[in-house]
Amino acid sequence: MQVVIKSENEIKKMRIAGRLAAEVLDMIEEYVVPGVTTAELNNICHDYMVNVQKTIPAPLHYGHKTSTYPNGFPKSICTSVNHVICHGIPSDKKLKNGDIINIDITVIKNGWHGDTSRMFTIGKVAGRTQKLIDITKECMEIGIRMVAPGMHIGDIGFAIAQHAKNNRFSVVREYCGHGIGKVFHEAPQVLHYGTKGHGLQLQKGMAFTIEPMINIGKRHSKLLADDWTVITMDKSLSAQWEHTLVVTDTGYEVLTVSDNYQFDY
């Protein structure tokens, strides 16, 4: 699949979609409390996207069909709790003190996608758990700061993996960042591990996500029988942060910023 270079006008449209996705995460934060179910969080986000923002929730009915979910992904957001790495399906299970959750939001506005996720804690979490969340966020930010014309995707992955390793965490290898635009998932694949100087060379107008998934235990993952939910093989905790960005003349622009999340340039 060929990488689609975005024009200035197309980036302007992606900037709108990116901000709207981030604003969903701003909105939902006050509802992420003990006792709430992830299905309730999904419903609140869905209502906000459809009725307030007038956006389309990209995950709803997206992707491959399964016997359990013949219409594709069954919900409007992904909610990955504790040892769920990604693609967690909202359910009636209640969040409790000590849980951690990644909420992944993708909206479509005027045909363009904005994709972002953040970690949230439920009450007080253990020190090592908070460090996992913090280091995962730093991994994303380190990867973003590697982005500039002439750099390689391997440079991004190497920097992310090195920071995780230095803090005694592991990087999930089966799932990665991706190109994005009018299509939810397009080229290039952005691995969160790699070799310096290897992989696709970046150029102005490329738009993609950086979304490292970092485990407190071993890196290995397992896909559950629903064909969507991915968990850590050893049931250890996992964290993820995600931004959508575009390569500029001299570096990058993060598109999924909002009043509550201004990326530190």
**Average pLDDT value for residue range 217-235:** 96
Backbone angles phi, psi at 79, to 5 degrees: -130, 105
Distance of alpha carbon 40 from alpha carbon 23, whole angstroms: 18
pLDDT digits (tens, 9 = 90+) for 173-204: 999 999 999 999 999 999 999 999 999 999 99
- One-letter amino acid of 263: F
Print the domain residue range for 227.
8-254
Distance of alpha carbon 202 from alpha carbon 187, whole angstroms: 12
Please report the sign of the dihedral spanned by the C-alpha atoms of residue 183, residue 117, residue 9, residue 264: negative
At residue 264, does pLDDT exceed 70?
no
Q: Is residue 265 part of a domain?
A: no
The CATH number that applies at residue 204 is 3.90.230.10
Radius of gyration of the chain from its Cα atoms, rounded to whole angstroms = 17
pLDDT digits (tens, 9 = 90+) for 109-135: 999 999 999 999 999 999 999 999 999
Distance of alpha carbon 9 from alpha carbon 5, whole angstroms: 12
Q: Is residue 53 part of a domain?
A: yes
Q: Is residue 20 part of a domain?
A: yes
Lowest mean pLDDT among 47-56, 60-69, 138-147, 172-181: 60-69
Q: Is residue 259 part of a domain?
A: no
**Residue 14 C-alpha from the chain's centroid:** 16
Q: What is the pLDDT of residue 149?
A: 98
pLDDT digits (tens, 9 = 90+) for 152-162: 999 999 999 99
pLDDT digits (tens, 9 = 90+) for 140-151: 999 999 999 999
Q: Tell me how many domains the chain contains.
A: 1
CA dihedral 129, 132, 134, 137 (to 10 degrees): -140
Q: Is residue 264 part of a domain?
A: no
Find out whether 45 and 83 touch, Cβ atoms under 8 Å: no
Residue 262's pLDDT band (cuts 50, 70, 90): confident
